[in-house]
Amino acid sequence: MIQLENVSKSYKNGVHALRNINLTIEDGEFVYIIGPTGSGKSTLIKLLDGEEIPDEGDVIVNDVNVGKLKHSKVPYYRRNIGVVFQDFRLLPALTIFENISFALEVIGMDKRDIRRRVREVLELVSLSDKARAFPNQLSGGQQQRATIGRAIANHPKVLIADEPTGNLDPEMSKEIMELLEKINTVEQTTVVMVTHDSTLVNDFKKRTISLEEGYIVADMMKGGYLKYD
């Protein structure tokens, strides 16, 4: 479960990025975070993955009070959440198989378990036939599927996606949404997705949290309607 209680965050330049946010996301939910540029969406994501610390309030993810973690504990905390960004961030010199297995090697998983899990993940993200390919031999959509595979390889309870379709055309964006829905259902991963993509928000209805100037201005359980880009 994700819980934000009276969370405020401002930056050194005096910008109040988030103001008194109260929010609960239950295990297994799929939630969009929407809002105009500068409304605080990325700041919210950064609080969830421990990149930023709230000025006030508590950010609790799977019983961990993220804002109170010691700096040295943040990497361990991050092992239990998957994060996907707009740019794919695959390691160019490694194959797709190696990119995913690398993520499991660094956390010390047994070699045989790694091979089994990477094969399973490649199947889940429909890239079994690209295991030996390098990132630059894949389309943008395929690279993003590989990134998502890498992010969920360790069975995180929460997957955070910051504009995962930002660099993709509509057809590939739809594929990514279908994949995220599959992960949400098959792996029961909670998905929190920041997006500007009005077509996705309108076509794939999900709980939609709308931010404006650092405030939650709407929380639509049956999906929102996004009218701005």
Give CA–CA dist 23/90, Å, rounded.
32
Binding site for ligand ATP (CB under 6 A): 11, 13, 15, 17, 35, 37-43
Q: Can you tell me which residue has the tokens 């019983």?
A: 63
Of 179, 184, 229, 182, nearest to 202 by C-alpha is 229
Strand pairing class (16-25; 2-10)? antiparallel
State in angstroms the smallest separation of the CB of 163 from ligand ATP: 7
Min separation Cβ 132 and ligand ATP, Å? 35
- Specify whether the CB–CB gap between 214 and 184 falls below 8 A: no
Rounded to the nearest 10°, the torsion over CA 139, 94, 191, 178 is 30
Tokens of 106: 């660094």
Shortest Å, Cβ 208 to ligand ATP? 14
Residue 72 burial by Cβ neighbours in a 10 Å radius (0-12, 13-18, 19+): exposed
Q: Which residue has the tokens 């599927």?
A: 145
Nearer to ligand ATP, 39 or 190 (CB): 39
| Bridge pairing between strands 215-220 and 56-61 | unpaired
Q: How far apart are CA 49 and CA 58, in angstroms?
A: 13
Comparison of 141 and 214: residue with beta carbon closer to ligand ATP: 214
Sheet holding 16-25, edge to edge: 16-25, 2-10, 56-61, 64-65
Q: CB of 62: closest distance to ligand ATP in angstroms?
A: 23
Shortest Å distance, C-beta 18 to ligand ATP:
8
Q: Are 173 and 116 in contact (CB under 8 A)?
A: no
- Please say which residue, 43 or 99, places its beta carbon nearer to ligand ATP: 43
CB of 46 to ligand ATP, least distance (A): 7
Closer by beta carbon to ligand ATP, 49 or else 149: 49
Paired tokens of 226: 């996004």
Report in angstroms how near the CB of residue 161 gets to ligand ATP at its nearest. Answer: 13
Closer CB to ligand ATP, residue 59 or residue 114?
Answer: 59
Q: Give the residue with the Cβ less far from ligand ATP, 15 or 221.
A: 15
For ligand ATP, the closer CB: 11 or 76:
11
